[in-house]
Structure 1
Amino acid sequence: MLRKLLKHEFRATARIMLPLFGLLVLASVGANLSIRGMLDSDSTFLSTLGTILIMLFTVAIVAVGIMAFILMINRFYKNLLQDEGYVMMTLPVSIHQQIWSKLIVSTVWFAATVLVIILACCITAFDIRFMGELWREMKNIVHAVIQYNHMDVVANGAAFALEALILCILGSVSFCLRAYSAMAIGFSRPNHKGLFSVAAYIGTGVVLQILGGIVISLLNDSWFHRLLLGWEPNVSVVAGMHLGMWFLIVLELIYCAVFYFLTVYFLQKHLNLE
């Protein structure tokens, strides 16, 4: 059933995100043309047009990022907390499946948004001479790694990339879950649901700041703190960095688990759709 929920979610959200991605790529092409000639043209019309194209490209980047965030909030709100919630709660699916469908789709669109923005920036900055120089530099780096047998550098780089990817995915999930839990808490109230949702979001942020300060104070001058700073002689700096990354991953997992529990609990026990 999760597969059907995902199919429905992707179909509902793709109608909004894919055209925005197309417009962003189109705006990046216009921005590239403006950089390559319009801005330096003697024609007032062309230079003005180039400036407008650059502004449109900037607006398109901001719009795509904001829309990905709004869509994440709106799908959870309309699908589970408004009138559609009556229908969704009668389907033969669990709360867990409904939450996971929203999490997976939102995370995919966040990742796609980042990739499309990077692609659009590359298109804007594209220059055939620059790409040729970049390709030659990459070949030189690969040749140096192979020649001097720096496979440990490659392995550690791949490990850091994997750890960073896991952190990014967990960061996206935790970002969604914090918003979901705030809305679930707010909609457990009989009145002023939106106001209580905002208050819950702010309240959880304050609690996180307090807990973060406590954790930092406890770790200060500890073995782990010295390890992260490279002061622990029995562990190498690279190993300490890997341990630090996995420490952050574990913290993110705990963060996600807490907000996931809050979301499920309030949706199951205290949801008030009236």
Structure 2
Amino acid sequence: MLRKLLKHEFRATGRIMLPMYLILLVTAVGSNLAGRGMLDGRYHILNILGVLIITAFGIAICGALLMSFVLMIQRFYKNLLQDEGYLMFTLPASVHQHIWSKLIVSSVWFIVTVLAIIAASLVVAYQGGFLRELLDFLRYFLEGLRKLEVSEAFNGTIYLAEFAVLMFLSLVAFSLQFYAALAAGHSQANHKLLWSVVWFFGIQFALQFAGSLLIIGSNELDVFNRLFSHWDPSPTVAIHVGLLMAIGCVIIYGAIFYAITTFFLKKHLNLE
């Protein structure tokens, strides 16, 4: 069922995000052309037009990022917490499947948006010898990779995998902050969006307060010094441990919001 939910989510959100990427590409091509001739032209009308096109590209970047964020909230809110929720919760799918369909799709669009912005920026920067320089850089980079030892190449691959996992989980945790607040706020009978805002800041304050107490307590008990005083790892091991600890912290952080979201969707959701 999760596969069907994902298919439905990508179809519904793709109608909005794909045109945004098309606008981003068109304005990127326009900005490239504007940078080549319009800004340095003799005619003021062309100079103004070039500035407007470049401004449109900047607005398109902001619009793509903002739309990814708004769509992440809007799909959860509209699909599960408003009238559509009556239909969605009658499907043979668990609350966990509904949540993960939203989380996966939102994270994918965040990642694709960043890649689209990078690609559009390359289009803007493209000049006569740009492609040749880019290919030369890639060739030198690949040659450098071939010169690495097996252990270095292996650790580098693991670094990238750990970093990719960290980024994905960070996006999931970021989305869950808003899902938890919306789910909790919609357990109330009235003023649900207002209560969602109150829940958002209340949960953030509680977690920040608990984290501060934990740090202060750890310092008072000298926990970290006791754990790591006799540990002298190599730089490679230290990086791995650091990334894994960051992944663990993000998992704990996201799990708190995930538990809040599932609790209120299962036990206290008020769709009236």
TM-score (normalizing by structure 1): 0.91
Which residue pairs with 1:64 in the alignment?
A: 64
Which residue pairs with 1:8 in the alignment?
A: 8
Query: Whole-Å Cα distance in 1 between the matches of residues 230 and 145 of structure 2?
Result: 29
Read off the aligned partner of 1:105 and give its amino acid letter: V
Structure 1 SS opposite 2:68: helix
Unaligned runs of 5+ in 1: none
Which residue pairs with 2:235 in the alignment?
A: 237
Which residue pairs with 1:196 in the alignment?
A: 195
Query: Whole-Å Cα distance in 1 between the matches of residues 247 and 84 of structure 2?
Result: 35
Query: Whole-Å Cα distance in 1 between the matches of residues 78 and 202 of structure 2?
Result: 23
Q: What's the CA shift for 1:84?
A: 1.1
Which residue pairs with 1:254 in the alignment?
A: 252
Read off the aligned partner of 1:188 and give its amino acid letter: S
Query: Whole-Å Cα distance in 1 between the matches of residues 29 and 180 of structure 2?
Result: 40
Q: What's the CA shift for 1:127?
A: 2.1
Q: What's the CA shift for 1:38?
A: 1.4
Query: What count of residue pairs does the alignment treat as equivalent?
Result: 270
Deviates further, 123-132 or 109-118 = 123-132
Structure 1 pair 144–18 and aligned structure 2 pair: CA distance change class (3 A): closer
Structure 1 SS opposite 2:129: helix
8 Å CA contact 1:145, 1:151 repeated in 2: no
The within-5 A match list for 1:172-187 is 172-187=171-186
Which residue pairs with 2:29 in the alignment?
A: 29
Which residue pairs with 1:96 in the alignment?
A: 96
TM-score (normalizing by structure 2): 0.91
Query: Whole-Å Cα distance in 2 between the matches of residues 241 and 128 of structure 1?
Result: 40
Query: Whole-Å Cα distance in 2 between the matches of residues 223 and 165 of structure 1?
Result: 27
Structure 1 pair 31–215 and aligned structure 2 pair: CA distance change class (3 A): farther
The within-5 A match list for 1:1-274 is 1-147=1-147, 149-217=148-216, 223=224, 234-274=232-272
Query: Whole-Å Cα distance in 2 between the matches of residues 141 and 64 of structure 1?
Result: 31
Query: Whole-Å Cα distance in 2 between the matches of residues 134 and 251 of structure 1?
Result: 37
Deviates further, 48-57 or 138-147 = 138-147
1:222-261 Cα distance to aligned partner (Å, 9 max, x none): 547996xxx9762112211210110010111111211111
Query: Whole-Å Cα distance in 2 between the matches of residues 2 and 29 of structure 1?
Result: 38
Q: What's the CA shift for 1:136?
A: 2.3
Query: Whole-Å Cα distance in 2 between the matches of residues 47 and 212 of structure 1?
Result: 53
Structure 1 pair 15–143 and aligned structure 2 pair: CA distance change class (3 A): closer
1:46-91 Cα distance to aligned partner (Å, 9 max, x none): 1111100110000001111111111111111111111111111222
Q: What's the CA shift for 1:4?
A: 1.6
Structure 1 pair 174–233 and aligned structure 2 pair: CA distance change class (3 A): closer
Structure 1 pair 261–34 and aligned structure 2 pair: CA distance change class (3 A): same
8 Å CA contact 1:182, 1:201 repeated in 2: yes
Structure 1 pair 213–84 and aligned structure 2 pair: CA distance change class (3 A): same
Query: Whole-Å Cα distance in 2 between the matches of residues 224 and 169 of structure 1?
Result: 31
8 Å CA contact 1:219, 1:225 repeated in 2: no
8 Å CA contact 1:223, 1:232 repeated in 2: no
1:11-36 Cα distance to aligned partner (Å, 9 max, x none): 11111111111111111101111112
8 Å CA contact 1:173, 1:256 repeated in 2: yes
Query: Whole-Å Cα distance in 1 between the matches of residues 7 and 123 of structure 2?
Result: 31
Share of identical aligned residues, percent? Answer: 46
1:175-211 Cα distance to aligned partner (Å, 9 max, x none): 1111111001000011111111011111122123223
Structure 1 pair 160–100 and aligned structure 2 pair: CA distance change class (3 A): same
Query: Whole-Å Cα distance in 2 between the matches of residues 101 and 219 of structure 1?
Result: 37
